[in-house]
Amino acid sequence: MGAMGKIPPPGNYTSFDVPDLLDNIGLSDGLLVESICTTKNGDGSLHSAPIGVRRAGSAVIIEKLFKGTTTLENLMRESSALINLLDDVEIFYLATFNEIPEEGYDMSYGMRLPPLKGSNASMEVSLLNFKDKGDFLSVKLRIDGILLRKVKPCFFTRCRHAVLESLIHATRIPVFRKIRPKDAEKLTKLVLHYSELVSRICPEEPYNRIMRDIVNRLNIKLNK
């Protein structure tokens, strides 16, 4: 991880040393995070929707952007978007049903697209390339610049949730095996589910390393 001094003060926008900055705020290479992607509609209005993005160096990848969605149509037309990183469930709820009001955007920054008021960090991105996968496209976006609203932004990642839930279950499974074997079996299946999720979407450090150790300590046999 780079030096903390490279993180600009909150409220500042930067386009320099993007990979180091991403490392410093905890968005490690290969990490998949849940974001809200803002794009511009044809009539100039804004559209925001929850989108999972995976970091790939100084770019991000949307692995499944389904055809017929407003986000894909806008991105193909405008070739740019804004990736908002945040940990506010209420905003994710509103974005899921396309109900973020105009006053939910912060127009004071002069960016190509305005960030959400509740975002902790926002990344301006431009379309690099895409691959047609049938029902969806895999899209790679260059990170042009980052607006930080917090020194250490918080954002949702399924990796963190999966490992944390597994650690909690790991404290219960050994006890439940002795007194409540059916409950132990249910929790073991959940740990297996999380283990498979982590191996599929998360980087090695620290998520896969910790999940393997949990599975080994609990003597759980992985599904083949």
Chain segment 99-138, per-residue pLDDT in tens: 999 999 999 998 999 999 999 999 999 999 999 999 999 9
Calpha distance 84→87 (Å, rounded)? 10
Q: What integer pLDDT is reported at residue 1 of this predicted model?
A: 38
Contact 100, 91 (CB under 8 A): yes
Calpha distance 48→60 (Å, rounded)? 17
Contact 58, 143 (CB under 8 A): yes
Question: Does residue 178 sit in helix, strand or coil?
Answer: helix
112-144 CB burial, b ≥16 within 10 A, e <16? bbbbbbbbbbbbbbeeeebeeeeebbebbbbbe
pTM of the model: 0.81
Q: Is the pLDDT of residue 41 over 50?
A: yes
Calpha distance 202→160 (Å, rounded)? 9
Judged by average pLDDT, the poorest of 11-25, 41-55, 128-142 is 11-25
Q: What integer pLDDT is reported at residue 3 of this predicted model?
A: 42
Calpha distance 80→192 (Å, rounded)? 38
The CATH architecture assigned to 4-148 reads Roll (2.30)
Task: Read off the pLDDT band of 205 (50, 70, 90).
Answer: confident
Query: What are the sequence ranges of the domains in the chain?
Result: 4-148, 158-217
Q: Is the pLDDT of residue 170 over 50?
A: yes
What value does the mean pLDDT take over residues 188-201? 95
Q: Give percent of the chain above pLDDT 90.
A: 77
